[in-house]
Amino acid sequence: MTYSDPTIWGIIIAIGLGTYGLRWSFLGALGNRPLPVWAQRLLRYTAVGVLPAIVAPLVAWPAATQGQPDPARLFAAAVAIVAGVATRNALAAILSGMTALYLSLYLIG
């Protein structure tokens, strides 16, 4: 990465303040005011909207293979999804995905 040191610290502090603001929001300031139903509905899908959108290009065009689709990484991602859905356990999904990656990198070369 090519950001200057002050930029990186600025990013860290801004994310820290924003996150603290969210945690403190109702407990510290808004109190018992109910969150509108439509807002609750949208908030439920923030993580599932943001994380897959970051992951998809990384899986389809990995930087490690200069952006060329890579069978080993596609396979590893598929294994992680299946393991995560089947076990509902994030750690099991990570271990299965990385094992699948090492195994296929070793076999395919």
Partner 1 sequence: MPAPTPASATEPTPDQARALARTPRQCVRHGFLQALPFILVLLPFGLLFGVVASDAGLDLAKTMGFTVLVLAGASQFTAVQLMTDQAPALVVIVSAVAVNLRMAMYSAALVPWLGAARPRDRAWVSYVLIDQTYALSVQHYERNPRLSMPQRLGYFLGAALATCVPWFVAAALGAIMGQAIPESWALDFAVPITFIALIAPALRSLPHLVAALVAVTAALVFAFLPSGMGLFVAAPLAMASGALTELALERRRARIGASLP
Q: Which of residues 2-21 bind partner 1 (CB under 8 A)?
A: 2-3, 7-16, 18-20
CB 61 within 8 A of CB 86: no
Shortest reach from residue 68's CB to partner 1, in Å: 14
Q: Does 107 bind partner 1 (CB under 8 A)?
A: no
The helix (run of H) or strand (run of E) holding residue 28 is none
Closest CA to 98 of 73, 65, 66, 68: 73
Report the site for partner 1 in 29-88 (rule: CB under 8 A): 30-32, 34-35, 38, 40-64, 73, 76-77, 80-81, 83-85, 87-88
State the number of binding residues for partner 1 (CB under 8 A).
74
Q: What is the CA radius of gyration of the chain?
A: 19
Cβ closest to partner 1, residue 2 vs residue 68: 2
Q: Does 25 bind partner 1 (CB under 8 A)?
A: yes
Shortest reach from residue 108's CB to partner 1, in Å: 12
Shortest reach from residue 65's CB to partner 1, in Å: 9
Distances (CA, A) of 101 to 62, 71, 93: 13, 9, 12
Angle of the 90-108 helix axis to the 71-87 helix axis, nearest 10? 150
